[in-house]
Structure 1
Amino acid sequence: MSFHPDTASLQQTPKPARATLKPETTRKQRVVIIGAGFGGLAVARELGGTDLEVTVIDRRNHNLFQPLLYQVATAALSPADISEPIRRTLGRYANIKVMLAEVVGIDKLENRVLLDHGAPVSFDRLIIASGSEYNYFGHDDWRAAAPGLKTIHEARLIRHRLLLAFERAELSTDPEEKKALLTSVIIGGGPTGVEMAGAIAELGRFMITRDFRMLAPEHFRVILLEAGPRILAAFPEKLTAYATRELEKMGVEVMTGRMVEEVSREAVVAGGETIRTGNVIWGAGVKASPAASWLGVEGKAGGRVPVGPDLRVEGSPAIFAIGDTALGIGEDGKPLPALAQVAKQQGQYLGRAVRAELLDGTKPQPFHFHNRGNTAVIGRHAAIFDFGTWQMKGRIAWLLWALIHVYLLVNFEKRLLVTVQWIWRYLTRQRGARLIDENASAFVPSTTQRSET
């Protein structure tokens, strides 16, 4: 049998290898968090180190422990003691990206967050934790004369005006002018207003007796204005009565039932009475961030966004809202309060829920708020706590307030710094942050400017 060489060569030629198809890469699920306050940071920490792509957007580069902001305003602490760069807080998580930008809208159809600059940010899940701001009830022109306490800038502005008013009063030869400069008016009798009134009273009386030679205690006034029948309306009446007595012992004039009619840099008109003042502070109410307008929904109760039991925005399954931005309903059927503990608990819950939903396909259980108590500090050795079923006041409440607030600070470094400064201030009554910016002359009109206007 003959053998054809061409046929043999064809039979021995190996078949070409089949091309190997690479599996398609699966895109990571994207979670975007708007706001790095109590709630936003709690969510981010729960999602840190997971197989999710997380982006945190905030218009400020730092997180801020707002409950102690009044101590920055009254020279007890420095801004750095209660704040930290967001990148430092979250830097240890390789899957978290931080963006310094202002949110201007949300595209619900394309699942994108719109920014004031830069490209839109796409998301698979969006958490809105953008907080709140002070509500001037249609009188936004009062904001310049009466700053609130939501930002470091506002706290420093109040501190500058307060300290510079003492310096101006020291130079004045007119007793009425001294009294006007040394009159501080706090508008709003909630926890912020009460804390500010007590802190200013302590600071002012200490400085007059120790550091200023031309000022006398009778020149100094602290007035707390409240439109309602009593201060601290969210607390039981017996705690309100205790707080009122303690403030009055410190020299604070508590004026209730006084509706504010006009506010300027030099005077406040309330209940038909004109009060000349060198420093006005606003603490009369808050409203939610513009999240409702971003989403195109109707805000409720101060602009808060209605959410379901799992904190989803109604009608938007990929979007959640927490903290002061959200209107969640508690087990008692009442809206959850706009408190730091609510935002933090919601953030921790939502971080775990989103992680389980996106990575494991698990449906989240409803959120349950555990009330840790509502508190307000009045002054040295005086604070109140309301735990719902029982209350606490006095020195023990004051110590508990201090322990809780130190514990809630962002890290050990801040806890140590604040603890040392509080101990030093307790022993000496000194306040180490009594600094006036060299350009702060614009914050309080001089005597000449005051007379010209």
Structure 2
Amino acid sequence: MTNPTLAETPNKKHHVVIIGAGFGGLACAKALGDTEIEVTVIDRRNHNLFQPLLYQVATAALSPADISEPIRRTLARYRNIRVVLAEVTGIDAVAQEVKLSDGIAIGYDRLVIATGSEYNYFGHDDWRRAAPGLKSVHEARQIRHHLLLAFEKAERATDDAEKRALLTSVVIGGGPTGVEMAGAVSELGRFMIGRDFRNLDPSFLRVILLEAGPRILSSFPEDLARYAQDYLEGIGVEVLTATPVEAIATDHVVFNGTKLPASCIVWGAGVKASPAGTWLGLEGKPGARIPVDPDLQVKDHPFIYAIGDTAAALGPDDKPLPALAQVAKQQGHYLGKALCQTLTKGTKPEAFRFRNRGNTAVIGRNAAIFDFGRWQLKGRLAWLLWAIVHVYLLVNFEKRILVSIQWIWRYLTSQRGARLIEEDAVPSTVRDLPDRGNVEASRLQERSGEEM
């Protein structure tokens, strides 16, 4: 018995299916917009998300709605594109169908896999419950909830040791996400203690950044990494390199044989591609990325393409392209144009070529680093450029204006505008933090998420 088919190709038009509406998937869809090609975008979420700013949601600088938008709204102007909210469970490359969790199948002429990446816990998936990463709005809200609630608990605590434990945060991973998160937590904590909490002392606050490698920001030049570490230490972050984590629980971290009580633990130690490769029976490259040809076609699968963090595309130096937003956007735009050219004109496009626009990380207020390859930038000017670039990359003009106004206001006042703890999720006694895996708390957070 065959599965029912949700999408046929009316009038024999070519049909392109895109799995994932992140940077790459949206760029591909937009490049195919207003053409004679029928396009279906499938995503398990109804919104796209600007992940580089999730750490600001987690540290109460922005709300989820500031960096999210419904996929349907983003693509509504293109009459040849439709959006399907569904979970993909497999791909039948022979029948050219995408299998959904509800048993429906969507047929395609060309398939684009743009499912992004997820955090890699290196064989310790049980740590995920105690140390969420920053890949979704739910995770960012979960971190914010525990961070802010810990301050409320510490305000009521009578024992200094308990206060110190509650005000200890550990960020695992010294890449851009870990550096940005550690700096933001330290600045938020010192601002709140100095302004809003009467029974807390700045000496109680402790933010620790753990990196297993020899230095933080290994993808950046060493002098920029040194500048970042010096700045972090200047704002009170303890940077520990060559220090792998040994164990994680909901209330502590173990490293160097020492058990450190902590109330907020954030994971940012590495990513791996989504399990999309298993849908094709592929082993994948390191990090589970799918090997692709220069035109981004999946090897040995002539009608299937992979882009973004999912794809193991190689640069001119034969090294895998980094898992960055700019790579995914450029690949998506290229592939959309290439598919249009192939399907409507029958011509083969040139191979994809990545144009590096620079790599950046923000460290704190007035401090960031930029690596453009031939030259570098750091400090206040880099911070301003970082802000301009990230505002520009937001999905539409409305979000750019809203985020710009909020950043300007918060820069002038040092205020944080999204310091909210869900009322129904606060326990009857503040002495007991809710378990990070609490199903009901998670559901409450999801239900009270951003209105989009």
Q: TM-score range by the shorter chain?
A: over 0.9
**Matched residue SS, 2:131:** coil
**Matched residue SS, 2:225:** helix
Q: Residue 93 of structure 1: which of 78, 81, 95 is its match?
A: 78
Q: Which aligned pairs between 1:383-398 and structure 2 lie closer than 5 A?
A: 383-398=368-383
Larger radius of gyration: 1
Q: CA deviation at 1:440?
A: 2.8
Q: 1:200 to 1:300 in 2, by over 3 A?
A: same
Which whole-Å deviations, capped at 9, do the CAs of 1:307-359 have from their partners, x for residues lacking one?
Answer: 00000000001000000000000011111000000000000000000000001
**Matched residue SS, 1:42:** helix
Q: CA deviation at 1:72?
A: 0.3
Residue 167, structure 1, aligned to residue 152, structure 2: yes
Residue 138, structure 1, aligned to residue 136, structure 2: no
Given that 2:170 and 2:266 are in contact with CA atoms closer than 8 Å, whether structure 1 keeps it comes out as: yes
Q: CA deviation at 1:169?
A: 0.3
Name the residue aligned to 1:257.
242
Q: CA deviation at 1:441?
A: 3.0
Whole-angstrom CA distance in 2 between matches of 1:437 and 1:110: 47
Residue 79, structure 1, aligned to residue 80, structure 2: no
- Equivalences, count: 426
Q: Residue 216 of structure 2: which of 206, 221, 231 is its match?
A: 231
Q: Residue 190 of structure 2: which of 190, 205, 210 is its match?
A: 205
Q: Which amino acid aligns with 2:402?
A: L
Given that 1:160 and 1:443 are in contact with CA atoms closer than 8 Å, whether structure 2 keeps it comes out as: no
Whole-angstrom CA distance in 2 between matches of 1:445 and 1:261: 29
Give TM-score, length-normalised by structure 1: 0.92
Which whole-Å deviations, capped at 9, do the CAs of 1:246-299 have from their partners, x for residues lacking one?
Answer: 000100000111111100111000121211101000000011011110011111
Q: Which amino acid aligns with 2:346?
A: G
Which whole-Å deviations, capped at 9, do the CAs of 1:366-419 have from their partners, x for residues lacking one?
Answer: 000000000000001110011111111011100000000000000000000000
Q: 1:291 to 1:443 in 2, by over 3 A?
A: farther
Whole-angstrom CA distance in 2 between matches of 1:364 and 1:121: 26
Given that 1:165 and 1:444 are in contact with CA atoms closer than 8 Å, whether structure 2 keeps it comes out as: no
Q: CA deviation at 1:447?
A: 5.2
Q: Which amino acid aligns with 1:330?
A: G
Name the residue aligned to 2:47.
62
Given that 2:210 and 2:241 are in contact with CA atoms closer than 8 Å, whether structure 1 keeps it comes out as: yes
Which whole-Å deviations, capped at 9, do the CAs of 1:177-215 have from their partners, x for residues lacking one?
Answer: 000000000000000000000000110000001000000
Whole-angstrom CA distance in 1 between matches of 2:274 and 2:394: 24
Name the residue aligned to 2:316.
331
Structure 1 gaps, min length 5:
1-24
Q: CA deviation at 1:119?
A: 1.4
Residue 114, structure 1, aligned to residue 122, structure 2: no
Given that 1:201 and 1:250 are in contact with CA atoms closer than 8 Å, whether structure 2 keeps it comes out as: yes
**Matched residue SS, 2:382:** helix
Which whole-Å deviations, capped at 9, do the CAs of 1:161-182 have from their partners, x for residues lacking one?
Answer: 0000000000100100000000
Give TM-score, length-normalised by structure 2: 0.93
Name the residue aligned to 2:306.
321
Structure 2 gaps, min length 5:
1-9, 436-452
Whole-angstrom CA distance in 1 between matches of 2:427 and 2:28: 41
Given that 1:157 and 1:443 are in contact with CA atoms closer than 8 Å, whether structure 2 keeps it comes out as: no
Name the residue aligned to 1:347.
332
Q: Which amino acid aligns with 1:423?
A: I
Q: 1:360 to 1:379 in 2, by over 3 A?
A: same
Name the residue aligned to 1:33.
18
Q: 1:293 to 1:448 in 2, by over 3 A?
A: closer
Given that 1:375 and 1:384 are in contact with CA atoms closer than 8 Å, whether structure 2 keeps it comes out as: yes
Q: Which amino acid aligns with 1:292?
A: G
Q: Which amino acid aligns with 1:183?
A: T
Q: 1:31 to 1:297 in 2, by over 3 A?
A: same
Name the residue aligned to 1:373.
358
Residue 215, structure 1, aligned to residue 200, structure 2: yes
Name the residue aligned to 1:296.
281
Q: 1:231 to 1:448 in 2, by over 3 A?
A: closer
Given that 2:146 and 2:433 are in contact with CA atoms closer than 8 Å, whether structure 1 keeps it comes out as: no
Q: Residue 247 of structure 1: which of 232, 237, 240 is its match?
A: 232
Q: CA deviation at 1:446?
A: 2.4
**Matched residue SS, 1:186:** strand
Name the residue aligned to 2:417.
432
Between the aligned residues of both structures, percent identity stands at: 69
